[in-house]
Structure 1
Amino acid sequence: MFLDITKKRNPNLIKTAFELHQNGLIQPDTYIIDLDNIVDNARKIKKEADEYGINLYFMTKQVGRNPIVCKELMKLGYSGAVAVDFKEAMGLKENGIKLGHVGHLVQIPTNLVEDIVSAKPEVITVYSVEKALEISKAAEKLGFVQNIMLRVLDEGDNLYPAQYGGFYLNELLDKAKKIKELSNINICGVTSFPCFLYDSKEKYIKETPNVETLKKAQKLLEDNLKIKIQQLNMPSATCVSSIKNIAKQGGTHGEPGHGLTGTTPYHAENQGEEIPCLVYVSEISHNLKEESFCYGGGNYRRSHMSNALVGKSFEDATNVKTKSPSLESIDYYITLKSNANVGDTVVMSYRTQIFVTRSSVAVVKGIKEGKPEVLGIYDSQGRKIK
């Protein structure tokens, strides 16, 4: 999905991938993060956001919750990290990363509420009165007021399976009134997901119906309950290209994830401001009939992987078509549609969510200057591998 554009815009990353693998510095099933370019991308997004008055929380799940990347982004002035589930929140906390937004897309389990609230996230999203009560009790015990957002939805919104939850507009006032009465939380915002998606026909990132739902929710809460909504959080596909539209729609916050690595669907078809800076590296294991097989572990069901570079170096590599594993199969191997030499390096670039893989992550600096240095190798959850 992103291999051709990466060859064009960041060839040194692919060269580095071949060199590191052939020299035994990384093993198959490793993602390489080009640290210098991810920081440059983050800086560009932040500059655009500052111009339009948009605050940013950075997502870490796409890059394996990597602490090196997180700490570099914090230096740029980001408001904190997005923890889309409780495991991410705990890992970020342990690594000393400021929690910006917790609870969206996954709510905090009951027995972890106090632990996560003690980290004083900037905001926590809740889906229920019950969860709001738990957060209020924890904040009361800890001696402060916790800001929360309500996830809102309406019929016709764009929602993904396995991510359902929140307050429908027709019940919002009743539920928000009960939450407002709790002593140690403050309703400061509303959110939904996804608020923006790339339209391949119109070639730009456009708002979904969820944005209108957020605006309706804001009006309901402000007009009827006198709740001042300070945050209209509009995540998904946040990058330089979409910031202006967030502001146009009245949004206050964005949450770049794939934008940081230059790998949103927009970047697959357009030359965005961000440089692609993430590749997947494997190795040919064996051949069978007219196909070859490289080690797997990094497949993501929405990857749209289509081709790979195979060889001993970037200069002599051959472009080979790939075949994604079927949904019911474990990706022990990824199939390539031609024979190749056992031990050859395989480099791919596709849409991923590293945190749902069993891959390793190599963070490398100096790629732009042709002087790559591996800063560390981590697992997919941000834990350093010795």
Structure 2
Amino acid sequence: MFLETTERRNPNLIKAAIKLHRDGAILPDTYVLDLDQIVENAKILKKKADETGIELFYMTKQIGRNPLISKKISEIGIKNAVVVDFKEAIIMMENNLPIGNVGHLVQVPKALLEKVIGYGPKYMTVFSTEMLEEINNVAKKLRKKQKVLLKVIEPTDEVYEGQFGGFHLADLEAVSKFSKDLKNIEIVGITSFPCFLFDGKNALKPTTNIQTIERAKVILNENDINISELNIPSATCSKTIPLIKQIGGTQGEPGHALTGTTPLHAEMDLEELPSMVYLSEVSHNLDGKAYFYGGGYYRRGHLENLLVIDEKNNYVKDTIESFGNESIDYYLTAKNSHSVGSTVIAAFRTQIFVTRSDIAVVSGISSANPKLEGIYNSLGNLIRR
């Protein structure tokens, strides 16, 4: 999906990955991340957000909740993370990284509420009155007042399986009345997901979820709940930040833009450069096909093209055979045979946190002097420096 773009716009990343593999510094089934370019991409996003008045929370699930990269992003001015689930919140808290939004897409479990609220997230996203009450009780105990975003959802909205939850518009008047007695929370905003989707051509289009957010704001304002924040996530990048502003949004959540891998980046050259590749190795051949080590397959990733480099430094293009969702990716299959031990490079849309891959964070790539900063697992834990 992104291999040709990476070859053209960040060839040193591919060269660095090959060298690290040949030197034995990284093993197959490793995502190699260009730390310096990710930081540059973050600077581009921060500049665009400052120009438009949009607050950004960076997302790390797609890069394996990596704390080293998170620290660098925070240092350039996108200070707060959005954590997609409570396990990601734990990683951020363990590494003393500020949290901007927790609870969306996954609610914080009851046993973790005191630790999370005590840590001090800027906002918590809430799906139910039960959670509003739980947060209020814990905040009261801690003598805090917690700002809250309500997730809204209608049957006409576009929602992925496994992500259902939120308040229907018809519930909001009752929610407003219910919240009046909760003195340790403050409902300040609304969110939904996804708010933009790729049209399959060359643009990201607002979803019907935006209309639900707009209607929810009116209802809540009419019930004396002052809504100042509209959190408009999905595919936040240099191209869509102005669109967030145009539709009245105040917050965006860049994730794939940090690595130059939103769907738009596959179709056009945006300001953010590609900064992530997947590295593997040919294990064996059978019946004219090469089998390379898996572990990083993501079923929505559109993995198709491969670059295979043998020990004589011959570069060969190949494609992957389709892989069914019913199987485990112990190996993935190239359509042609290749020398055993050859390096395999791919670049595709992924969510590292749902894989079993390693993550190699590398600096100095742009100067052709790569330095391996650390190897992490897919959940953000350091394996070795």
TM-score, structure 1 length as denominator? 0.98
Letter in 2 for 1:222: N
Once the two structures are TM-superposed, the CA of residue 317 in structure 1 deviates from its matched residue by 1.4
* Deviations 1:202-234, CA, capped at 9 Å, x for gaps: x111211111111111111012x2111111000
Query: 1:333 is matched with which residue?
Result: 331
Tell me which residue corresponds to 1:252.
250
Q: Which residue of 2 aligns with 1:208?
A: 207
1:381, CA displacement in angstroms?
Answer: 0.8
Q: State the match for 1:75 in structure 2.
A: 75
**SS of residue in 2 equivalent to 1:241:** coil
In 1: Cα distance, 2:311 partner to 2:72 partner: 30
Give the Cα separation in 2 of the matches to 1:341 and 1:230. 59
Indicate yes or no: 2:259 matched with 1:261: yes
Q: Which of residues 276, 279, 282 is equivalent to 2:280?
A: 282
**Counterpart in the other structure of 1:22:** 22
1:311-361 CA distance string (max 9 Å, x none): 137962111111242101011011110001111100000010000000000
Percentage identity across paired residues of the two chains: 50
Contact 2:152 2:166 (C-alpha < 8 Å) held by counterparts: yes
CA distance in 1, matches of 2:124, 2:322: 37
Q: State the Cα distance separating 1:6 from its structure 2 match.
A: 0.4
For 1:211 and 1:132, the matched residues in 2 are separated by 23
Deviation string, structure 1 residues 255-307 (Cα, Å, up to 9, x no partner): 00001100011000111111000000000000010211100000111010001
Q: 2:353 touches 2:378 (CA, 8 Å); kept in 1? A: yes
Task: Could you list the structure 1 runs, at least 4 aligned residues long, displaced by more than 4 angstroms after superposition.
Answer: none
CA drift at 1:123: 0.2
1:33–1:278 Cα contact (<8 Å) kept: yes
Amino acid at match of 1:338: N
Q: CA deviation at 1:176?
A: 3.0
CA distance in 2, matches of 1:117, 1:165: 21
Q: Secondary structure at the match of 2:256?
A: coil
Deviation at 1:177, TM superposition (A): 2.1
Evaluate the alpha carbon distance shift between residue 283 and residue 172 of structure 1 in structure 2; reply closer, same or farther with a 3 A threshold.
Answer: same
Alignment-mate amino acid for residue 268 of structure 1:
A
1:312 alignment partner in structure 2: 310
Aligned to 1:197: 197
- The more displaced of 140-149 and 174-183 is 174-183
User: How many equivalent pairs are there?
Assistant: 384
Listed as ranges, the gaps of 5+ residues in structure 1 are none
Q: Which residue of 2 aligns with 1:239?
A: 237
Match of 1:41 in 2: 41
Structure 1 residues 96, 372: closer, same or farther in 2, change over 3 A? same
Q: Is this contact kept in 1: 2:73–2:79, CA < 8 A?
A: no
- How much has 1:183 moved relative to structure 2? 1.9
Residues 52-67 of structure 1: pairs in structure 2 closer than 5 A:
52-67=52-67
Cα distance in 2 between the residues matched to 1:132 and 1:91: 24
Deviation at 1:42, TM superposition (A): 0.7
Distance (whole Å) between structure 1 residues aligned to residue 98 and residue 62 of structure 2: 18
Partner of 2:289: 291
For 2:248 and 2:90, how far apart are their aligned partners in 1? 32
**CA apart distance, 1:172:** 1.5
Contact kept? 1:19, 1:313, Cα under 8 Å:
no
C-alpha contact 1:55 1:79 (8 A) present in aligned 2: no
Give me the whole-angstrom Cα distance separating, in 1, the residues matched to 2:117 and 2:344: 43
Give me the whole-angstrom Cα distance separating, in 1, the residues matched to 2:364 and 2:319.
Answer: 30
TM-score, normalization: structure 2? Answer: 0.98
User: Aligned residue for 1:139?
Assistant: 139
Distance 1:238 1:97 in 2: 21
In structure 1, distance between residues paired with 2:316 and 2:264: 26
Secondary structure in structure 2 of the residue aligned to 1:116: helix
Query: Contact 1:15–1:313 at 8 Å: present in 2 too?
Result: no
Alignment partners' CA distance in 1, 2:79 and 2:272? 20
Shift in Å, 1:200: 2.1
Amino acid at match of 1:199: D
Contact 2:294–2:332 (CA under 8 A) maintained in structure 1: yes
**Which whole-Å CA distance do the structure 2 matches of 1:342 and 1:177 have between them?**
67
Match of 1:230?
228
SS in 2 for 1:232: strand
User: Matches of 2:47 and 2:13 in 1, distance apart?
Assistant: 25
SS of 1:276's partner is: coil
Q: Is the 8 A contact 1:54 1:254 kept in 2?
A: yes
Residue type at the aligned position of 2:220: L
Give the conservation status (yes or no) of the 8 Å contact 1:146–1:184.
yes
Query: How far has the Cα of 1:363 moved from its partner?
Result: 0.4
Q: Is the 8 A contact 1:14 1:314 kept in 2?
A: no
Q: CA deviation at 1:240?
A: 0.1
> What letter matches 2:101 in structure 1?
H
> What is the CA RMSD across the aligned residues, in angstroms?
1.1
Q: After superposition, where does 1:57-206 map in structure 2 within 5 Å?
A: 57-201=57-201, 203-206=202-205
Is contact 2:276–2:347 with CA below 8 Å preserved after alignment?
yes
For 2:371 and 2:154, locate their aligned partners in 1 and report how far apart those are by CA, in whole Å: 49
* Shift, 1:60, TM fit: 0.5
State how far apart, in whole Å, the 2-side matches of 1:259 and 1:181 are: 41
Q: Residues 83-115 of structure 1, C-alpha deviation per residue, up to 9 Å, x if partnerless?
A: 110100011100111111000000011111111
